[in-house]
Every structure is written in C-alpha cells, then in structure tokens.
Amino acid sequence: MRTKPIRFLLTGGTLALIAFFAALFFLPKPQGTGLTVNKDVPFYSMPWNDNPFFPGLINTADGKMLDGANVPSAEFCAQCHEKEYREWASSVHSDTGLDLLYDTAANNNEVAHKNRNGLEKTRWCESCHEPVNLLRGEVNPLAVVGPSQAAKEGTTCVVCHTAVKADPLAGNGAVTLDLNNLNNYNEALIMAAPSEHARNMQSKTHNPLMGSSDFCGACHTEIRPVEINGGDPLHLQSTYEEWQKSEYAEKNIQCQDCHMPPDPAAFIAELNETGKTPKRVVSHRFVGVNYLLTDPTLPSNLTTFLRGGLPPGGISLDEWKADLLEQQRLTLDLIKSAATLSVSAPASVSPNATANLDVTIVNSGAGHSLPTGALDQRHMWLEVKATDATGKVIYDNGWFDEKTGKVDPSAVIYIKVLVDKNDDPIYEHILFNVKSYSYTRDPIPANASDTIPYAIPIPADAQGTITVQTTLWYRLALQEFVTYSLKLDMILPPVMMAQNMIEIPAK
Amino acid sequence: MKKIWISSLVGILTLSLMLTACASPQTAPTADSVSTENAAAAEVDLSAVKAYAVEQASLMKESAAALRAGAEKYYAAIAQIKADHPDANPYEYLWANNPDAAKALLNQMRADWLEAHTHYELNEGIIAGVPTLAFFDDWLDAGPSAEEDPEALEWKLVLADDTTLESPGNLFHSLTEPALYGTVDKYVGLPVDLNGDGSLGVSEALPEAEILLAATQALDVASDQTLDAVKAWQPTLEDAFMAMVTMIPTMNEYFEQWKLSAFVSGGNFEGTSFIAASRLLDVTGILSGLDLTYDNIRPIVANADASLDSQIAAGFSDLVKYVNNLYDQEKAGTIFSPEEADSFGTEAQNKAAALAALVAQAAAKANVKLNLDAEGWSPDAPPVIIVVAPDPAPIQ
C-alpha cells in the first residue's frame, strides 16, 4: 500500500504542533536581565542592610541590579524620538549626574564622611541624580561594573518610562523601575510590536503614574535618613508636599501641567487668565529654574564645563547651543511668571521725613512655595532702591555686588541656613553634616503672599519726586559654593523674578 | 509509515531548534557558575611581580640619591656665596659668575628627578594599589598638602634654617618638581633665561636652595623607606587583584590632570606640577606594572574561567595600546587640545571601567576575597625629616 504525501504532512504537522505547545508550556519563562548582588556583581558594599541601593529609595521591580548592557540609552531612543531627545538633552534632567554643581556637592559630602562609608552614603543622592548608575552597582568603593552609556545620562528616558510605582512622601528617589524585564530590548522587537513598546514604556494612557505629581514627588522630596549622620530624619526638600497642600492639587493641576508644556510661562498666564487648566501638550524640556546650566553664552567653554561634558551624541554643538538658548528663554520666562510685586506707599513725602512702604510678594504662578528645592543654595531676595528727581540714590536695601557676588546682609532674603554640630554655617551643601536648619524667612506658599514693611529715610537734600524701584531677585547658588567648591573665578549673577516701580511726589 | 515518523521527527526537531533560538535571553554569567575548585588548587607565583617592584624601587632610590647629591652641591654653592659675599643676592651672583655650571647642575638634577619619577610611575600601579604599600604613594606622589586638604597625610619637614613645614604634600609634585621647575614663587631663587631666548618662560628659574635641599633629602629618605617596604612585601593574590581593581579605573583622574597640565594647556597652564613629565607617562607606567601583575596571575583566572581570562588579557592589551599610542604621538610632538584630552580620557576610562569589572569578576570566580575596608599600613608616628645642611663649597 502506498501512503499519500498529504498524510505525511498532516500527521507530521499535527505532531509538530503538539510538540510546539508542549514546549511552550514546559520551557522556562524569560527570567529578565537583572543581576544578583554579590553574585553577578561581586564585592558590593552594603553597610546597613541587604538593599543594595539604600539609603537611596529607588528600586527595581524584581529587586535586582541592572545589567548596563540591557539598559537602552537616550541615544537609542533618539533613533525614533528625535524631537523628545533634543528637548530632553537641553533640559537639566539630562544632566542630573554630570552637572558640575551636583558632582562637586556629592564629592564634598563623600569627602566629609571619608572612612565613614562616605561613598555608600551618596547612594542617597544618586538615587535621583544618577539612578542608572546606582541601580547597576557603580556607586561602590571598588569598580565592579563596566561602563554604560545610559548611566551617564542622568534622568534618562527609561528612568521615567519604566516607572511602575512611586512614593512621593517617602521621597529620596522612591520609584520602582521595571527595567529588568525589557529583556534585551532592540529595534526589531520594537518595530514588530509597537503597542507592546508603548505598554513597556508606560505611555500615559497605560500608566497614569507618568502624568501625576506623585511620580515627580518621589525625587522632589528629600529626607535625610538617620543612617547618614544619626539623629532624626531631616526633611530637607518638600516641593511635593507644598504642592499637595495647595489649590493646584485641589484643582488637579499636576507638576507636568506647568513644567512640561512647550511654553510653561504661557501655560501659567492662560491658567491665571481663564482659571481653567489648558489642554496638556507635552514637551520633554522639563522647564524649571536652572538658568545657569541652560546658558550657552557663558565664556570659555564654561557651559560644557558646568554640564560635565559635550552635548549628548547625535547633536552638534551648534544645535545644542540653539536648544539651550531656547531652554534658557523658557526658564527665565517661567521664573518671571512665578511672582508679582506690589507696593503701597504714602501719597507724598517730604525731605527729612520717613516714607513707610509695604512691599508685597505674591506667589502668583507657582504650584509650590517660593522659593523651593535645595534652599540652602537657591535663594530669593528683595531689593528696594529709592532715587530722587536728580537720580541720586537715597536708599538701597538688598543690593547685589557684581564684583564680589555678595548680597546686602540686611536684605530681606529667603534662604535656609544649615548648621553643623558646632553650629557653624554650612555653605557648600554638605548635607551629611547638617545638625539643624532655620529659614531667614519662610518660603511663600502657592497663592499666598508676604508683606514686608520698609521705612525709607528721605534725606533733607532730596530733590523732587522719589522713585522707588522694587526688585525680587533669584539666585541658583551661594557665591561661597561657586568660589570654594567649584573653584571658579566667576560671579554667579542673580536673575530678576519681578519688578515694580512707583513714584512718590514731594509734599 | 517510517516516512511519517521521519517527517514528524524533522518537524519536531526544527520547531525545537526554533524554540531554542527564541527562548529567553541568556542570563549573565554568574561568579559562581563556574567551578572554582580548580582555581583554588592552582598555584600562583608572584615572585616576578615582587622582583619588578624591587627593581623599580631600587632604580628610583638610585636616582633620588643622585638628585639629593646634586641639591647638596647647589646648596653648598649658595652657602659659599653667602659666606663670601654677604651683601650680594647669592642667586644673582651665581648666575652672573657661573651660569654654565649652574645650568649644568640644574639640568642634571632635573634629569635625575625625571629618572626617579619615571621609575616610581612604573611602580605606582603596585605601590598605590596594594594596601600595605599605599602609604608611600601618598607620601611620594599623590597626597595633597594640609593647605589643600585638612586631612592630608601627616608628616613634617624641618628645613636647614629650622623652618618646619607641616604636611607640605607629596614629594614629587608638591615639593621637588615645583622647586626644580620654578612653578611656585616661594620656591624660586631667581628667574633666569635658561634657554637663552631672551625671555623668561615657564620653568626658567634657579631653585631656592633651602627648599630644594629639604625636598630632595626627604625624597631620598622616602625612596629608601619605600625600597625597604617593597623588599619586605610578601605579595598575595589579594594584593594583586586589589592593585588591579583599585588602580585600573583611575584613568579619568590622570587624563583630567593631563588636560590641565602644560602638555595640553600650553600657555594657559596655571598649575604647579606635571610640568616635567606628561601625565601620560604615569598612565603608561601604572598600566605596565598592572599588566605584568596580571600576566603572573593569569593561570588562576584561566583555571576559573578561560574565556574571562582571554577577555581580560585582550582588555589590557587594548587599553595599554590605546594609551601608549597617545603617549607616542605626544612624544613625537603632537599637542592635543583640551577637548581632545577630554575625549581621550572618556574613552580610556570606559575601557578601564570595563576591564576593572572583568578583573573583579575574575577575583570572585577565583574565590579571592577583596576586602573593601582593608586598613592600609602607616607608620606608628608621622615621618619627620630633619634636613642636614652640607658645608659651603664653591660650585664646580
């Protein structure tokens, strides 16, 4: 009897299919690419507990370390998402690790606790500033992991786009990333299943966490753990809580609404004008207040130096400078949209008398306090300057000396004063050594105001109408930090947040 | 019927192969995934590493002694002039009356310094990387002064005029190099036109005799003590791995110093050290000592994981070639820009980080415990060097 070929094929095919499904059932599921500490990553120091990332609170979904080779870099993402990549590259988020100010501050802290696990303690900082670095085991006394492009990219794409959980009240980078299950991500896999890619990358429609303040809060809340320097936990930054207590939170206006539109100042203007939240259009510039790292006009290659190196791959120097210039414009506009100034003054004033003024600062555009963030460095102050009709300055409180970088010590200033165990002030952001802190003046909550009285003595020889110019200044860091920590021969200039001018006629 | 089974078998095998190919990605090799029993049993002979370290330390000591002798001659000459012509500036007098002898002596001292420094650099990978020897790296080559770091290495230098310098920094780059090359004003006796081009350029100066004498005597003493320590050193496998894991990833520091040195920054140079020898010499020196060290422990690593051993050997070869190539170009006259120096530094650091990680993996696979908190050796009391002034004598 002759067997027909069709029977061979049918029987063979059926058996093959059975074998296929059996194999699918019995084959091990993909395990992910995570590495086990002190097994795959040897000689890793964990002085406090079994959590390799502590005292940082960032984590991976499987609790394992990242294999650097399997972490897609921003340059990889840029192959398809060039616009987003360019926006991010000029933002401060692309520079959270290499930023010279951060890098120097981290080093200051590490050195301050030399021989006291200083380096391991910086995991607290790295949790937000160099998350990939930390998650792959690079923050260790011995170099036990190889280089990784993504590790140098600060808050790189996958840090946000693989986040599955966040604890904004715990802060210190309390985000969980599901990065180890990407399993050798490559272009072919993405192109073969774009919707799977969107799901993997937590696009907002798949994971609302990406669009909420809760996510940002995980890093914009900073609490020094007791393991750093004993004592009680020290609440150092509370931007998230400031927002949470504000009307912005009540109105469901999230961080992303103000900081991620293409033009944040325009967004705030429309919000204030209409009272309605404009439709969200997302830009990856993450506009904030860092007017220094976004300034491409600094002399002698200083921008590159401050940002810790040349622009990320795929962007020419000219393109990068143009992007930075736009970033700085948006930044300065946003700073100017945060506050308004008003002055109440007498109807007239005579020589040899005192003009009593009330200057009111209104936090009219920020969904958190003013100022906010690392307030031992970032500060704002008022300058009140009066001139007579001849232009002669008769009063100047809150001056800024452009030659020394000093601010009038009698100025009304909003800054946090840190002190060490000897009650000596800490100017160089050595948070590891802080014993306590105090505010020279409390930051102004969202939609609140602060009124400061001034008594301007009018000299006997003052001529005619008195002009009073009131300026609210903002500065990113203390001059002491620039001079003694960065060792830069530069004066860090302030930028203007708001200005008001009134005239008081002579009696 | 037989054909049916053949067809089925072919189908199953094909699908199985496809499934295998599509299966989960390979997990990274683990440190304990390879048996370490053989590794533990393997013998390692580090006598060649020790012989190399002793040879380099001996050669450094010889050059440091020659430098000291030169500085003593120089000091004696200045002292003679002070005795004979108390109203004259002794350096001006020396330069006016014996310029050729002064120049020859200075050139010889600089040559001796370079020789001593080169032999140290060839040993630095081992000395700085081994915890029981690292103290000497701080003292000789790397430690900051108390002015730069309040926690600087404690030691005292008592000059012939009874001035005491407390923790004045390391001997090569904080003291002897600035004294010999005139990069620190207070260490300059007299700026002079050494090259006769009619102008006073960088490093054209006669040294101030007190500091030069003190610094070179201290360098001689420290070189002697280093040699003794290296001779007494019993190298262990832990030492060898520790030296590699701690010293390989230091490339970026050296490249940064190179970028800021006169070799790259040229006329914009504002530093006080790394003017006599390029920092690339340090890098090549460090790597050559470590490369030799690895050659001597290769059997251990190969026993634990032959593939890892090949990767490490290739990594060393690649890094050494990369740095040597840069150094060769520089010696041939190429002056790199600071941006190029940055870019080279980044690439070297990437190569070094990858290599150091492989070495750490190898140590784990070979069951070698690297103690992160290993206490380095330091003397019972901070060193005190009291300078002995030679009698005055005319320059020859």
Give the domain range for residue B240.
236-365
pLDDT class of A136 with cuts at 50, 70, 90: very high
Residue of A nearest to B352 (CA): A146
Euclidean distance between CA atoms B327 and A367, whole angstroms? 55
- Whether the pLDDT of residue A189 is over 70: the answer is yes
Task: Name which of A151-160, A464-473, B270-279 the model is least confident about.
Answer: B270-279
Q: Is there a contact between B360 and A8 if contact means CB atoms under 8 Å apart?
A: no
CB contacts, 8 Å: B19 with chain A: 20, 23-24, 27
**How would you label A172-192 residue by residue, b for 16+ Cβ within 10 Å and e otherwise?**
bbbbbbbbbbbeebeeeebee
CB contacts, 8 Å: A27 with chain B: 19, 23-24
Higher pLDDT, A145 or A56: A56
Q: List strand residue ranges (DSSP E) for B154-203, in order.
A: 156-158, 164-166, 188-191
* Rounded average pLDDT over B156-171: 96
Question: A interface mutation test: which of B372, B373, B375 has the most A CBs within 10 A?
Answer: B372
Q: Is there a contact between A40 and B246 if contact means CB atoms under 8 Å apart?
A: no
Q: Mean pLDDT of all residues in chain A?
A: 93
Q: Does A62 touch chain B (CB under 8 A)?
A: no
Query: A207 Cβ partners below 8 Å, 6+ apart?
Result: A163, A164
Q: Is there a contact between B32 and A16 if contact means CB atoms under 8 Å apart?
A: no
Which residue, A415, A416, A396, A372, is CA-closest to A243? A372
Considering the domain architecture, whether residues B172 and B78 belong to the same structural domain is answered as yes
Q: What's the pLDDT tens digit per position in A426-449?
A: 999 999 999 999 999 999 999 999
Euclidean distance between CA atoms B146 and B166, whole angstroms? 7
Q: What's the pLDDT tens digit per position in B72-91?
A: 999 999 999 999 999 999 99
CB A258 within 8 A of CB A268: yes
Closest partner residue to A15 among B11, B31, B370, by Cβ?
B11
- Whether the pLDDT of residue A487 is over 60: the answer is yes
- According to CATH, the superfamily of the domain at A338-504 is Immunoglobulins (2.60.40.10)
Q: Is there a contact between A16 and B353 if contact means CB atoms under 8 Å apart?
A: no
pLDDT class of B20 with cuts at 50, 70, 90: very low
Task: Name which of A27-31, B93-97, B116-120, B169-173 the model is least confident about.
Answer: A27-31
Euclidean distance between CA atoms B264 and B340, whole angstroms? 9
pLDDT at A4: 65
Considering the domain architecture, whether residues B190 and B289 belong to the same structural domain is answered as no
- Give A319-327's long-range contacts (Cβ < 8 A, gap of 24+): A319/A86, A320/A89, A320/A90, A320/A296, A321/A296, A322/A296, A323/A86, A323/A87, A323/A89, A323/A90, A324/A90, A324/A294, A324/A295, A324/A296, A325/A296, A325/A297, A326/A90, A327/A90, A327/A91, A327/A285, A327/A287, A327/A294
- Whether the pLDDT of residue A54 is over 50: the answer is yes
Percentage of chain A beyond pLDDT 70 is 96
pLDDT at A143: 85
Considering the domain architecture, whether residues B266 and B138 belong to the same structural domain is answered as no
Q: What's the pLDDT tens digit per position in B178-216?
A: 999 998 999 999 999 998 899 888 789 999 999 999 999
Strand partners, A344: A358
CB contacts, 8 Å: A303 with chain B: none
Considering the domain architecture, whether residues B257 and B357 belong to the same structural domain is answered as yes
Question: A interface mutation test: which of B361, B369, B375, B378 has the most A CBs within 10 A?
Answer: B361
Considering the domain architecture, whether residues B195 and B158 belong to the same structural domain is answered as yes
Which range of A36-45, A434-443, B269-278 scores highest in mean pLDDT? It is A434-443
Residue of A nearest to B1 (CA): A3
Considering the domain architecture, whether residues B197 and B242 belong to the same structural domain is answered as no
pLDDT at A146: 87
Euclidean distance between CA atoms B75 and B207, whole angstroms? 10
Euclidean distance between CA atoms A427 and A20, whole angstroms? 67
CB contacts, 8 Å: A145 with chain B: 353, 357
Higher pLDDT, B5 or A89: A89
Output DSSP code: residue A481: I
What burial class does residue B219 get, using C-beta atoms within 10 Å of its C-beta: 0-12 exposed, 13-18 middle, 19+ buried?
Answer: buried
- Whether the pLDDT of residue B40 is over 80: the answer is no
B14 in any annotated domain: no
Strand partners, A359: A343, A452
Closest partner residue to B372 among A7, A142, A310, by Cβ?
A142
Instruction: Report the SS3 class of residue A52.
Output: coil
Q: Is there a contact between B11 and A12 if contact means CB atoms under 8 Å apart?
A: yes
pLDDT class of A300 with cuts at 50, 70, 90: confident
Q: Is there a contact between B246 and A15 if contact means CB atoms under 8 Å apart?
A: no
Q: What's the pLDDT tens digit per position in A316-343?
A: 989 999 999 999 999 999 999 999 999 9
B192 in any annotated domain: yes
Q: Is there a contact between A33 and B25 if contact means CB atoms under 8 Å apart?
A: yes
Euclidean distance between CA atoms B337 and B343, whole angstroms? 10
Instruction: Report the SS3 class of residue B221.
Output: helix
B374 in any annotated domain: no
Considering the domain architecture, whether residues B252 and B338 belong to the same structural domain is answered as yes
Q: Does A117 touch chain B (CB under 8 A)?
A: no
Q: Is there a contact between A147 and B354 if contact means CB atoms under 8 Å apart?
A: yes
Percentage of chain B beyond pLDDT 70 is 85
Euclidean distance between CA atoms B328 and B339, whole angstroms? 19
Q: Does A80 touch chain B (CB under 8 A)?
A: no
Locate CATH 2.60.40.10 in chain A.
338-504
Q: Is there a contact between A12 and B8 if contact means CB atoms under 8 Å apart?
A: yes
What burial class does residue B80 get, using C-beta atoms within 10 Å of its C-beta: 0-12 exposed, 13-18 middle, 19+ buried?
Answer: middle
Strand partners, A396: A385
Euclidean distance between CA atoms A323 and A214, whole angstroms? 29
Output DSSP code: residue A436: E
Handedness of CA A81, A86, A87, A91 (dihedral sign): positive
Helix axes B338-365, B306-331, angle to 10 degrees: 160
pLDDT at B257: 84
- Whether the pLDDT of residue A311 is over 90: the answer is no
- Beta strand A466-475 pairing with A379-387: antiparallel
B31 in any annotated domain: no
Question: A interface mutation test: which of B24, B36, B370, B375 has the most A CBs within 10 A?
Answer: B24
Q: How far is B72 from chain A (nearest CA, A)?
A: 38
Q: What's the pLDDT tens digit per position in B314-346?
A: 999 999 999 999 999 999 999 898 888 888 998
Closest partner residue to B364 among A31, A42, A67, by Cβ?
A42
- Whether the pLDDT of residue A219 is over 70: the answer is yes
Q: Is there a contact between B25 and A183 if contact means CB atoms under 8 Å apart?
A: yes
CB contacts, 8 Å: A3 with chain B: 1, 3-4
Output DSSP code: residue B368: P
What ipTM, to 2 d.p.? 0.74
- Listed by number, the residues of chain A in 297-336 with a beta carbon closer than 8 Å to a beta carbon of chain B are 309-310
Instruction: Report the SS3 class of residue A232.
Output: coil
Which residue, A133, A128, A139, A195, is CA-closest to A168? A128
Q: How far is A53 from chain B (nearest CA, A)?
A: 17
pLDDT at A506: 92
pLDDT class of B16 with cuts at 50, 70, 90: very low
Q: Does A22 touch chain B (CB under 8 A)?
A: no
Q: Is there a contact between A39 and B31 if contact means CB atoms under 8 Å apart?
A: yes
- Give B76-83's long-range contacts (Cβ < 8 A, gap of 24+): B76/B390, B76/B391, B76/B392, B76/B393, B77/B102, B77/B105, B77/B392, B77/B393, B77/B394, B77/B395, B78/B189, B78/B209, B79/B209, B79/B389, B79/B390, B79/B391, B79/B392, B79/B393, B80/B392, B80/B393, B80/B394, B80/B395, B82/B392, B83/B392
CB A380 within 8 A of CB A475: yes
Instruction: Report the SS3 class of residue A444.
Output: strand
Chain A / chain B CB contacts < 8 angstroms = 108
Q: How far is B224 from chain A (nearest CA, A)?
A: 29
pLDDT at B251: 87
Q: Is there a contact between A30 and B349 if contact means CB atoms under 8 Å apart?
A: no
Residue of A nearest to B8 (CA): A12
H-type alpha helices, chain B: 2-22, 37-41, 47-84, 90-97, 99-129, 134-137, 177-181, 209-232, 237-247, 251-260, 262-265, 279-304, 306-331, 338-365
Q: Does A67 touch chain B (CB under 8 A)?
A: yes
- Beta strand A339-344 pairing with A354-363: antiparallel
pLDDT at B25: 36
pLDDT class of B271 with cuts at 50, 70, 90: low
Q: Is there a contact between B24 and A33 if contact means CB atoms under 8 Å apart?
A: no
Q: What's the pLDDT tens digit per position in A241-252?
A: 999 999 999 999
B299 in any annotated domain: yes
Give CA separation, A398 vs A381, A409, A413, B256, in Å.
Answer: 7, 8, 8, 40
Higher pLDDT, A286 or B346: A286
Give the dihedral of Cα atoms B204, B208, B209, B212; nearest 10 deg: -80
- Beta strand A59-60 pairing with A175-177: parallel
Q: Is there a contact between B363 and A7 if contact means CB atoms under 8 Å apart?
A: no
Q: Is there a contact between A145 and B4 if contact means CB atoms under 8 Å apart?
A: no
* Rounded average pLDDT over A381-404: 97
Estimate to the nearest angstrom the gap between the alpha carbon of A198 and the chain centroid.
25
B153 in any annotated domain: yes
Count the domains in chain B. Answer: 2
B9 in any annotated domain: no
- Whether the pLDDT of residue B135 is over 80: the answer is yes
Q: What is the rounded radius of gyration, in angstroms, for the C-alpha atoms of chain A? A: 28
Q: How far is B134 from chain A (nearest CA, A)?
A: 16
pLDDT at B38: 43
Q: Does A186 touch chain B (CB under 8 A)?
A: no
- Beta strand A354-363 pairing with A449-457: antiparallel
Considering the domain architecture, whether residues B332 and B240 belong to the same structural domain is answered as yes
Q: How far is B128 from chain A (nearest CA, A)?
A: 14
**What number of H helices and E strands is found in chain A?**
19, 15
B190 in any annotated domain: yes
The pair of structure tokens assigned to B95 is: 């330069």
Q: Does A189 touch chain B (CB under 8 A)?
A: no
HSE toward the beta carbon, residue B130, CA cutoff 13 A: 26
Q: How far is A487 from chain B (nearest CA, A)?
A: 12
